[in-house]
Amino acid sequence: MRILAFLLAAHLCCAAPAEEAPPEETSPACLEARDHSDLDWIEQNIFAPSCYGDDDPRIDPSVGTMPASNDLLCGEKREAVSRWIAALTP
């Protein structure tokens, strides 16, 4: 579990090149992420819509379930995942 959490955090926290950066305007979902670090919220609002879905045309089962063509997660969502990982007991 910790290895998965570490790999996920590393993937989510990598800086994107400037031309791929998300727009400056913060969406309501990103604003809501500021108040969360709980796995239930993260699964429903970050992992499920961003990482998997059987009917998602971006997913190629031969490559995996996290489409590289997804939009970048906003900083608030990345921070929510980081807080969740940091709260895990050693």
Q: Which string of DSSP letters, residue by residue, matches the chain?
A: -HHHHHHHHHHHHSPPPGGGPPPSSPPHHHHHHTT---HHHHIIIIIHHHH--TT-TT--TTT-SS-TTSPPPPHHHHHHHHHHHHHS--
* Whether pTM exceeds 0.75: no
SS3 28: helix
Question: Does residue 4 sit within a domain?
Answer: yes
Q: Is 86 contained in some domain?
A: yes
| Domain assignment of residue 46, given as a range | 1-12+27-51+69-90
Domain assignment of residue 57, yes or no: no
Model pLDDT for residues 56-81, shown as the tens digit of each residue: 666 666 655 566 666 778 899 999 99
pLDDT in tens, 3-37: 555 455 555 544 444 445 545 678 898 999 999 99
Q: Please determine, for residue 82, whether its predicted confidence score (pLDDT) is greater than 90.
A: yes
* Tally of structural domains, the chain: 1
